[in-house]
Amino acid sequence: MYVANDRTLVNEIRPMTQDNEVLPAGLYPAHLKAIDSFQNAYSPRYRFVFCIDDDMNHGQTITLTTATNLNSKSKLGQTIKALLGRELSDRELINSFNPACLIGTVCKILTTHETNKAGKVYSTIDRILR
């Protein structure tokens, strides 16, 4: 797990919402708080944890997950490109860019709502802007 500092663990980050609340859809100032890796039923994944920095929702978190395959068209590649504000170089792609160096990056996130199979509405990150 990669975190913003040695004293912060992902499970200590203030949860995004209460059980029946969602973050209102919109554009929020944020920063990348942490990145960790996990395995789902299909493949290894990265979890990017963003912390909201506005007055009303300060400290709330929202996550974005990606597969670990890195190329310019993958979701991981597009996430890194958005946080860097530039394309990854061929050298960075070949050397498997380490996303942990992005922790602390200030950005804006555009959130929307989606509904899962059980009918529960949740917030999701639609776009990252630098």
- What average pLDDT does range 74-102 have in this prediction? 92
Cα dist from 83 to 59, 60, 103, whole Å: 19, 19, 10
Residue 126 has pLDDT above 50, yes or no: yes
- 114 belongs to a structural domain: no
- 47 belongs to a structural domain: yes
pTM: 0.82
pLDDT at 1: 47
- 121 belongs to a structural domain: no
As for how many domains the chain has, the answer is 1
CA distance 101 to 6: 14
Q: Which domain holds residue 39?
A: 2-19+31-108
pLDDT at 21: 67
- 122 belongs to a structural domain: no
Alpha helices in 10-128 (DSSP H): 75-84, 90-94
Reported as half-sphere exposure (CB side, CA atoms, 13 A), residue 89 has a value of 3
- What average pLDDT does range 106-121 have in this prediction? 95
pLDDT at 31: 97
Rounded-to-5 percentages of helix, strand, coil across the chain = 15, 40, 45
Residue 20 has pLDDT above 70, yes or no: no
pLDDT in tens, 26-74: 999 999 999 999 999 999 999 999 999 999 999 999 999 999 999 989 9
- 53 belongs to a structural domain: yes
